[in-house]
Amino acid sequence: MAEPARLRVCALYPDLMNIYADRGNLLMLERRCRWRGIGFELTAAGLGAPVDPGAHDLFYLGGGQDRDQRLCALDLVETKRDALHAAAARGALVLGVCGGYQLLGHRYALGDEEIPGIGLVDLETARSDGPRLIGNVAIEVQLDGGERRVLAGFENHAGRTHLGAGEAPLGRVLRGHGNTGSSGAEGVRRDGVIGTYLHGPLLPKNAWFADWLIRRATGAGELEPLDDRLEDAAHAEARRAAGA
Ligand code: GLN
């Protein structure tokens, strides 16, 4: 008999990398699983904790202030990098938001200082002397050749993220700044590794994307539809705020 579907999530530094209450993304995944009878297991991995690459379907890293990001980056490189590479190689999802997204790349440069990343994707970020890129944002996303959909959220970052030539963005900026403020690209996606600047938090404003992650991470086929009137209203409001 097939095992009942379950989503096993590993939250990396949930206390430190939680700017804009990004842990709301985890709550969203949990509720949408439980409402459908899909099991949900959450493990936190903080500073110094090793992670088991085979024990989780989705690794999640939220946003953080430069100070907390620095602390987590050093630990990430030292105690978790190899496991995250192994997890991504076996098809687990890795989702990074804002500061977490930046750490998926090679480095985050702040003037003379360099915060190391784990190099899961070919990108680098540099803090600019220019204005912070702040505001509501909407991007158009097409996942696996499917329907074009909109992700809406809020961004606030000093870093400008440049993708290597072989990398694809998560989406195309409709409104807002995205990776650099001028490239028209937002986020990154390489197979199961996804990074984005969208807070909001991301998933409560974009229930369709939460469901895409659940389907992909659990291998569940079609998901039972839910009463999404509130979620749809949150999405519509986020799009309206961004002007998209
Ligand atoms: N510290 C990073 C920056 O300012 C990320 C901030 C965030 O996660 N909101 O670019």
Span from the CA of 186 to the centroid of ligand 1 (angstroms): 15
Half-sphere exposure of 120 (CA within 13 A, CB side): 33
Residues 101-138 as b/e (b if ≥16 CB within 10 A, e otherwise) read bbbbbbbbebeeeebbbbbbbebbbbbeeeeebeebbb
Q: Are 197 and 218 in contact (CB under 8 A)?
A: no
pLDDT band at 19 (very low <50, low <70, confident <90, very high): confident
Q: Residue range 132-155: average pLDDT?
A: 96
The CA 157 to ligand 1 mean position distance, Å, reads 4
Per-residue confidence band for 201, with pLDDT thresholds at 50, 70 and 90: confident
> What is the rounded CA–CA span in Å between residue 41 and residue 197?
25
| Cβ < 6 A, ligand 1 pocket | 19, 63-66, 69, 98-99, 156-159
Write the DSSP symbol of residue 128.
-
The whole-number average pLDDT for the span 32-43 is: 97
- CA 198 – CA 224 distance, rounded (Å): 26
Q: How confident is the prediction for the chain on average, in pLDDT? A: 95
Q: Which of 12, 65, 199 should be mutated for ligand 1, with most atoms under 8 A from CB?
A: 65
Q: Does the structure show a pLDDT above 80 at 3?
A: no
pLDDT for residue 2: 61
Q: How confident is the model at residue 1 (pLDDT cuts 50, 70, 90)?
A: low
| Ligand 1, atom nearest to 69 Cα | 1
Cα–Cα dist 241/137, whole Å? 8
CA angle 76, 191, 206 (to 5 degrees): 85
Tell me the pTM.
0.96
| C-alpha of residue 112 to centroid of ligand 1, in Å | 17
* pLDDT for 119 beyond 60: yes
The DSSP secondary-structure symbol of 220 reads -
User: How far is Cα 229 from Cα 209, in angstroms, rounded to an integer?
Assistant: 16
